[in-house]
Amino acid sequence: MKFESKVQLADYLEISRGTLYRRAERESIDLDNIATVGLSEEQLAQLRIEGNKNNVSGGTDGGAEQIAQLKRELAQLNVKNTVLSDQLHETEQKYSELEQDYKAKVDKIVEYADRFAQLNDQQQRLTLDVQDKLHTIETTAKEVDKRGFWGRLFK
């Protein structure tokens, strides 16, 4: 995701710029190229998650802080869910396209197989016809040869 400035990124994450810089440094995330390269969903999630705090379970502020942390985590999970849902939809579309392509190719193969069977039958019939004609010619030639030299000479 691309952001025009670090201020816009901080506003998007609902944190201060100082917090943004600290989290980016802690997670080794480069904020200099957010306008051109942008940030991945994983990097955004890392910037949303607060570091370990000592007072998470202590005091009355700890409960409110835990609720705020859970809300942020829920928002992260909702973003991930949306991304995964989009990926699932794209994958289902690709599967549908591939399935249609597969069915078309199978139909074409069946068509070719039928045509091949027809051509094979035709070739066998022609071979048998040629063999019959050759047999007839050979038989006729043998009968002619049986008459002898004078028989062939004076038909």
List C-alpha distances in Å: 122 to 66, 108, 112, 117: 82, 21, 15, 9
CB 16 within 8 A of CB 9: no
Which own/partner pairs from 105-109 qualify as long-range (CB within 8 Å, at least 24 positions apart)? Answer: none
The radius of gyration computed from the CA coordinates of the chain, to the nearest angstrom, equals: 42
- Kindly report the pTM of this predicted structure: 0.38
Question: Which DSSP letter does residue 57 get?
Answer: S
Q: What is the pLDDT of residue 47?
A: 87
Answer whether residue 135 shows pLDDT above 60.
Answer: yes
Model confidence over 69-119: pLDDT tens digits? 999 999 999 999 999 999 999 999 999 999 999 999 999 999 999 999 999
Answer whether residue 22 shows pLDDT above 70.
Answer: yes
- Whole-angstrom Cα distance, residue 81 to residue 114? 49
What's the count of helices (H) and strands (E) in the chain, helices before strands? 5, 0
pLDDT band at residue 55, thresholds of 50, 70 and 90?
very low
Burial class (CB in 10 A: 0-12, 13-18, 19+), 20: buried
- Whole-angstrom Cα distance, residue 55 to residue 29? 26
Burial class (CB in 10 A: 0-12, 13-18, 19+), 27: middle
